[in-house]
Amino acid sequence: MRGRNKEIFQRIEAILDQDQGVDAAGVNETLGLLGGNPLDPGMLKDLMIYSETLPKAQERPYTEHERFLHFLWDAFDKLPACLCVTLAIPLRRLFAERLFGKCGKGVIIEENLRFNFPAFIELGQGVFFNRNVFLDSKGGIEIGDFVGIAEDVRIFSHGHSEAEHLERSYHKVTIGAYAKIYSGVTILPGVTMGEASIAASGAMITKDVEPGMVAAGVPAKVVRERKSEGRQGDDLGHIWLF
């Protein structure tokens, strides 16, 4: 990153790292730096994001800093600046390092990653998200090192009773290192995808997948072993973009 994009990034980094965290003025300054319009201060004072309407917010309330960070995350992908990849990917990483429960080095996030409770998301290093991914993180989501997640993936960590919708259950989803989750996959609550496992395109993963295995179908079943040619770990070449 160089030139004006570097200046914008560094200024936003300074705003995010203020001692008091992001305040309303910082939100408007960040929007301005990214080419967006400032919001009325009264609107920001009364701001509530969707996640705060959910029952889980009573157990784990947002701070003002987290609320404004989450707002900026969603707002950024509605601005033309989100298409400037040399700014957008480092900036999303900057936000993620301050929003998520854990965010390892080298995480790459493309457009339109949506989530509800970022504090319950843990990412290892080198994780890659393609476009239009949704993380329902109410029950917790842990994603290991160098996992690749393709377009239009949905991961759920909570469900509702069929007899009483207000009765909820929460179960953590875990995806092991070097796994691949291909496009259009849905992963349901409580699932563990083992290390170097693969979820084939369009699969609905309802049960655990053992390490090194490929699951496909609706509901998904293990269909074969991954064709890893004897490679494991870093030798699998899970390096995404830059």
**pLDDT tens profile 13-29:** 999 998 888 999 999 99
Number of structural domains (the chain) is: 2
Final residue of a structural domain among 99, 116, 151: 99
Q: Do both 137 and 29 map to the same domain?
A: no
Identify whether the C-beta of residue 126 lies closer than 8 Å to the C-beta of residue 234: no
Final residue of a structural domain among 57, 80, 99: 99
Say whether pLDDT at 1 is over 90.
no
**pLDDT tens profile 139-151:** 999 999 999 999 9
In this structure, what CATH number is given to the domain that contains residue 146?
Answer: 2.160.10.10
Q: Do both 111 and 231 map to the same domain?
A: yes
Identify whether the C-beta of residue 160 lies closer than 8 Å to the C-beta of residue 54: no
Q: Do both 28 and 132 map to the same domain?
A: no
Whether pTM exceeds 0.85: yes
Share of the chain above pLDDT 90, in %: 92
Q: Do both 113 and 223 map to the same domain?
A: yes
Final residue of a structural domain among 80, 99, 118: 99
Domain that holds residue 154: 105-242
Burial of 153: CB neighbours in 10 Å, binned 0-12, 13-18, 19+? buried
Q: Which two tokens stand for residue 121?
A: 């998301």
CA 211 – CA 206 distance, rounded (Å) = 16
**pLDDT tens profile 81-110:** 999 999 999 999 999 999 999 999 999 999
Q: Do both 186 and 80 map to the same domain?
A: no
